[in-house]
Structure 1
C-alpha cells in the first residue's frame, strides 16, 4: 500500500508569500483617540484571524470593539464552558452575541444527544448480539442475525475497537450456533433418509419373498440376480443402520426376511450344482432299473439340497422325491403327548430369555441358553418343530453375529487405534486438522479404558508423539506469525497517517483514494492472527485513521450519487418518449454518462443502478414486445401439451379402451401445435407408445379368439360358420398336417419349448421349414404363419391328433407369441 500512496502524490513547489515591508517612520507622533481605536480594532481583527483559542474568542465575543468582531468570535466558539460564560455576560448587553451563543449551545446539545444516542444504540446492538448468541429461541435465527449485522453496519464507524471486538465475537458465536443448527438439520435428514432406505429394503425383501413363494414350480429365478439382490440389500441395510437408532422389531424383521432369502438362495445354489445327479435320477425314476441304491441316493440328494418348505419346489425334484419314497414320520423323542407338551413349554420359557440375552449382547449367557434351547428343540416331534423352526433359525443367526462381534474386543480395537495413529503420522495434512484427529484418537483410547499391555501403550504413545511433532512446530511458528502480523498492522497505520497528512483533497484521484481505503482494510484483515491484547491500541489507531479517510470519501460519494439520481430521473422520463429510436439513443448516451461518474456508496449505487437499469429495460422492452408475444404463444402450446403428457404419460396396457381412445384423441389434437423440440419429441413418444398398446391389445384379442376356436375344435363343438372367411383361402393349397406337427410348428414360431419326446420331430420340421424357405424364396411374418397353422387346425377333419393335449400346446404357443411381442 505504501507504493500506491506514493504514486498518488505529486511533488508540489511551495510559494511562500512575502510580507510587504512597511517603510520606517522617523519619529511617530502621539496617536489620537481615533487612531488608538483603529489600532485596537486592527489588533483584534488580526487576533481573530490568527486562529485564537477558545478563551481568546470568549474575550473577543464580550470585549470586541465592533459588533462584527464580537459576532465572528461568538460564532467561532465551540467549547461549552466558554459558550455558557459568554451567554451569561452577553445577556442584556449584546443581543446578537447572546442569540448566536444560545444557538451554538443548542446545536452542541443536539450533537451531544445524537452522539449519546449512537453510543446507546451501539451498546444495545452488542447486548442484542450477545443475547442472540445465548438464546434458545431458534425461530428466524438467521434472519435476526442478518438484521443485527445490517443495523451494526450503520453505527460501526462510531464504535470503538473494543466494542467492535465484542460485537464480532458475539456474531462469531451466533454463526457457530447456526453451523450447529445446520449440522443438526443435516443429521435429522440423514436419519430420515436411513429410515426410508430401511423401509424400502424391508418392502423389497418382502416383495421378493412373496414373488418367490408365488412363482411357478417350473421356473427358477436367476442365481446371479438373487445373489446380487442379497448383497446389495445387505450393504444397503448396513449403511441405513450406521450411526442411527434402529427399533428391535425392525431389526428382527430384516433378519428374518434376509435369513429366509439366504436359505432360499443357498437351496437354489445347491440345486443348480446337483443338476447332473438330478438328471440321472430323473431318468431312472419310474423305470424298472430303479433299486434301493437309487432310492438311498435320492434321499441323500434331497437332504443335501434341503429345499425350504415355504417356497414352491422345482418340478425337477418331483421324480426324485417319488423315487426316494414318502419319508417316514419322525418319532417324537419325548414319547407320549404329556412329555411333548412339557418339552414345548420348557422351550417357550427359554426362548424369551435367549432373546433378552442376545439383545443385551451377553455372550456367555446367550451361549448357554442357546444350547439349552437346541436340546429342548430336539425333543419335539416334527409338527411342533415346524412351528418353532423359523424362530430358532433367527435366534441362531443372531447368536452367530454376536459371536463374530466378540472377536472385536478391546485389544483388537486398541491395535487398530495404534495402526490409525501410525498412519496419521505419515499423512501430509494440515497441522490443525491433524492435531484435532490426534486428540480424537487419544479420546477413543481413553474410552476403551486404557491397556494393561505396556508395549501396546508404548506403541500408541510413540505414534502420538511422532504425529504431533509437525503440529508442535506449526503452533510455534503461528506464535511468531502473530508478532509479524502486529508489525504489519503498525506499518499500515504509518502509511495511512502519511497519506492523510499529504493529501490534497481538491485535486485528488478519488478512485485511487477509495482503493487505498479498501486496500488498507484488506491488508489489515489479512494480517491475522494477532494477539488480542497487543492489538487493542493499534486497532484503535487504525479505526481513527479510517474515519479521517472516510469523511472526504463520503462527501464525494454523496455528490456523485446526486448526479446518478439525476440520470435515473432522465431515464424514467424516456420510458414513454416518442419516437422510440430517439429514446433508445438517449438511453445509450445516459449509460455513457453513468460510467463517467466517480465513486459512490455500494448499496446506494446498487439501488440507483437497479432503477436506471429498470428504466432502460422498459425502453428497450417495447422493441421486444412482438418477439415476446410469439414466445408466449409457444410457451402456452407447450403448457397445454405438458398437461396432456402429465395426464396420460403413465397410461399402461391395463387401461380401459375408452381411456386409451381418449388419450389417442388428445395426443392427436396437440401434435399439430407449435411445440418446442423437446416437448414435440415427448408427444411423439407418447403417441407411439399408445399405438403399441392398441396394437398389442388388438393382437391379444385376436390370439384369444384363436385359442377359443382351437379349444372348440379339440372338443368337437366348432361350427363351420365360426371361422373367419379368409381362413378358407389360408388353408387351401396347403398339405394336411397332423395335429402334433401343427403344435410343434407353432412352438417353433413362438419360441416355446417342445416336450422331450417330440424334440427329434421338432428338428425334422425345422430342417423341412428351412428347405421350404430356400425353395420358395418368400417368407411370411411369424404371426401370419401362425394364423395359417390355426386355420389348418380348425379346418381339417377331426382325428386322433386333434386332441385337447395338442390344443393346449397350440394355446401355450400363442401365449408365448404374445409374451415375446
Structure 2
C-alpha cells in the first residue's frame, strides 16, 4: 500500500516507466525546475537523458555537470551543439571563453569540426594535442584555415605520410605535408650524413691518435679538431666520449714529443755545460803545469799531485766525451797539456830509474859518474830541479868551487851557506835530504882551512840534531810498521770481503808500507809483511787473471767497435739519415760504457781513438743535419712561393701536401734549428690549409645560399598560378632564374627540391597550355555567328536554293588560318562533296577533339581513333606535339568542312560542344 501511494503521489518525472519520465520532462519548466532536469540528465534511459539535456540551454550548467563527473554522450552532444552555435543563440565571445575551459580533446575536436565560426574552430583546435585528431581535422574540416592550422601542428613522419595519403580535399595541405615530409627526410638524411661524417672523422682521429709523431702531427690534429667543431649537429654521448679519448691520445703523443724535445734541449744545455767543465779542467791542469814550472823545486808530492790531477782530468774528460764530444780547440789544448805532462812524467821516471845509482855515486863522491847519470836523466831545462838533482848539482858546483882556486875566505863563506841549508832541512824534518847533505859536508870539511873551527863545530851540532831526528823517526815508524803488519795479517784472515775489496785494501797497505821508507826498518817485520803480502797476492791470482781477461776482452770489443765505426766513417752514405747516425752514436756510447774496464796501459790510447771517432761521427751528423736544414729551408721557400702564387686553394693544398711528404722524408735538422724551421713551415702550411678551408666554407656557404634561394624560388612558383597564356614568358624567366642558381650542392634535400621543382614546372606548363587551349576554344565560340551563317547557307544550297558566299560581318576579325578556312567553306559550297564523306569528316574531327580532351571513344569510332593516332604520329614525327597548334588545325578543318546538312550538324554538335567545354576546364590550382 505505501508503494502504491508513493507511486500515486510522486512526480511523473520519477515514474518507473521511461516513457512517462520522458513525457514529464517535456512539461518541466526549464527555469524553475533546473535541478530536476540536471537529475534527469543523469537518468539511466538514453531517451530520457537526451530529452532532459535538450531542455538545458546553459553551457555553464552543462560544463559544471561534466566537472561533477556526469559522463554521457547526450550531454556532450548538447554541449557541442550549444558551443558550435547550432542551438541556444549564445554570443561568440562567451562561447570562445567556454571552449578555452574545455579540456576534453574529443569535445574540442567536435567543436573544431562543426563550429559556426572560424575563430571558434581555431580556438578549439588549439587545445588538441593528439596527432590523430589533428590529421582528421586537416583532412575533413570544411574551413581551409582550420585545415592548414591542424596540418601545421602535425610534425611526425608517420603523421605527415598519412596527411599526404588522405588529404585529398585540400591540395595545399597535401602539398605542404609533402614538402614538410621531404624536409623532414632531408633533415634526417642530413643528420645521418653528419653522423657519418662525424664517424669518419672519429675513425681518422682515432687512427691519428695511434700513429707515431711526425712533423705534421700537431697540425693534422688541429685540422681534425677544427673539422669536428665545425659540424653544427649535436653529437651523441658515445661519439663525444670517443672524441675526447682520441684527443687525449693525440695530446699525449704531442706532449711526449714536446717532452722529448725538452730533453734534447736539456741535452744541449748539458753539452754546453760539458764544454765549460772541460775548459775549466784543462785550464786548471794548465795552471798546475805553469805553477810546477815556476816553483823552486819539484818533489815527488808535486808530481803525485799532478798525476792525480791528470788522472782526474782524464777520467772526467772521458766521462764527458762519452756524453758529448769536445770541440777541436779544447781537444788541442787537452792534447798539448797531456804532452807536457808526459814530458815531465818521463823525466821523473828516468830520474827514478837512476835514483839508486845517483845515491851511490853521491855517497861515493864519484863526480864523473854523477855527471853521466845527470846526462842520462835528461831533465827538461824549463822545469825546476828535483831536490836530489838540485843537491847533486849543488854538490858538483860546490865541489868545483871548493876544489878550485878560490881563497880560503870564499870557501868558508860557501860552507856557511851549506850549513844554513842543512839547518833549514833539519828544521823542516827532511831527514833524507839532511842526511845526504850532512855526509857531503863531512867530506868537504876535510878541505877547509884550519881557521874554520866555528863551521866544524856547527857541523858537529847539526850532526847531533840529525841523529836525534833519526831516533825520532824510528820511534814513530816502529809502531806504524807493527800496525801495518797486523792489518795485513787480519786482511789475510778476513773471508767476508770480495776479491775486489780485498785487492783494494791490500794495495792501500802496501802503499802505506812503502811510504815509511827505511824508518825503523828491521828484517823481521819486513819479512813478515812481505810474506803475508805474497800470500794475499797468491789468493788473488785467479781474480787478477779474470780481471786481466775481462780487461783484455773489453779492450778487444772496444777495438772492434772502433774498427766498425771507422769503416762506417771511411765510406759514409751520401744521404745518410742523421737520426740513424744518432742512433748508431748512442748505441756505440752504450756499448763503450759496458766494455769497461780495460788494461791501464791501453786505456788512454783507445779512449783517445774512440774520442776522435766520436768527433768525426758527430761532425758527419752535423754535416748531414746541416744539409737537411738547407733542404728544409728550400722547402720553406717553395711553400712561401706557393702561398704567394695565384692558383686555386685546393690545388695549392695538394702541392703543399707533397711538400710535407718531402719534409717527413728528409729527417731532422740540427737540434734547435729543427724546431725553428718546423714552426715556420707549419705556419705556412696552416695558412695554406686555412685558405683552403675558408674557400671551401665560402663555397659551401654560397651553395647553401643558392639552395635557399632555390627553395624560395620553388615556394614562390608554387604559390603562383598562371592566369593567361602570356604567362609563358614569365615561366621562361623563372626557368632562367633557376638555371642561374645552378649548380646546387648534392644531397637528399637537393634531390627532393629537384623533384618538387619538376612537378611544379610541369603543372604550370600544363596549366598555361590548357589556358592557351581555352583561349583557342573561346576564339572559336566568338566565330559561332559566322559558323551559323555557313550552316544556313549550306542548308539553302543542299535544298536546291541558290548557293552564295557568306561574308564576314562588320567588326569580326579572324586569324589567317580561320580566314583561309572561311574561304575554303565558301568554296566547298560551290563544289560540294557527297554527304557521307562530309559526315565522315565531321565524325573524324569529333573523334580527334575527343582524343585531345581525353574523352572515352565509342566502340564504333575505334577505326577513326587508330587512323587519327597514326596520322598524328606521322605528322609530328621528330617534333614535339603542340596541342595548341593541333587544336587550331582541327577547328580550322571543322570550319572548312562543308556543306553540312542540318541533320548531320545536329547529330555531331552536342558531342562537339561537350568536348570543347571539357577543353576549357582548367586544372585545379
Both structures adopt the same fold (TM-score exceeding 0.5): no
TM-score when normalising by structure 2: 0.26
Q: Larger Cα Rg: Structure 1 or Structure 2? A: 2
Structure having greater relative contact order (Cα 8 Å, sep ≥ 6): 1
